[in-house]
Structure 1
Amino acid sequence: MGSKVILLCIALSAVQAVHAQIWEFGVDNLPTAIVVSVFKGSFTLFQKEQKIQLIVPPCHILTYVNVEVNNFFSTPEVHYNTQTHVVTITYSLLQLSPSRFTIIAKGVVQNGCNVQRQQQLPPAQQAPPQGRQGPRPIQHGSYRQY
């Protein structure tokens, strides 16, 4: 009996590793975009929500965020706040939440931005210049399941 339980746990772990749900926010087709932030984490059985603050280097604009969640049993809600760069992953009370996730954020360098000057100014003066040209920040999201 004990060996059957162990085999079942191993089988479920193997299936969970290949079952991925992916949410995409923004567009991943800009040739100048680079990976600026990667975050890996996990949920325990009793965790129902995590808020992950993405790190955005000075003078960069996020153009794409990819959130991959590996959970064979449940599908969480995933949201990305474009203003605060926070990804929120939420499971409902009755969902099984043990899972792993990976977040990859891509961005481009903001046109006309001087990194040294940007780091010296207080945060209130670090607003991007008006009428800038180039890539736009993330506007929408999509979801797909594999």
Structure 2
Amino acid sequence: MKISTKGRYGLTIMMELARKYGEGPTSLKSIAEKHQLSEHYLEQLIAPLRNGGLVKSIRGAYGGYILSKLPKDITSGDVIRVLEGPISPVDFTEEDDPAKRDLWVRIRDVIAEVLDSSTLLDLISFKDEGKNDNYMFYI
């Protein structure tokens, strides 16, 4: 499964709204400018997020968008499913070889577990403490 720009930019929108949670509405224009993204594209993404119950729109001169729930209550899985659809690395059927089907199901379940255990609060609170496994090799 490859997450498209819909999922990635949608997560960007949601993380910005989580950072501003409790401060009032945030405009898509400000998010677009901060991340150098197309405001028009973000407008296309916000509709399914609103229809999915993840954000609320506020009208008026100082309007914009706010999260419909606390950042700790919205997972990255919620966002990805709304924008990308069901989480699955491949389409498989009951007719598929049982060993391959089991592999795809296990991969799907691990991806879903990671997405569903990562809240917006987790994402905006993340601190890179050197836990990445990047190695430098010299020849």
TM-score range, shorter chain: under 0.3
Determine which structure has the larger helix proportion and give its number. 2
Q: Per chain length, whose mean CA-contact separation is higher, i.e. which structure has more relative contact order (CA < 8 Å, sep 6+)?
A: 1
Determine which structure has the larger strand proportion and give its number. 1
**What is the TM-score when the length of structure 2 is the normalising length?**
0.24
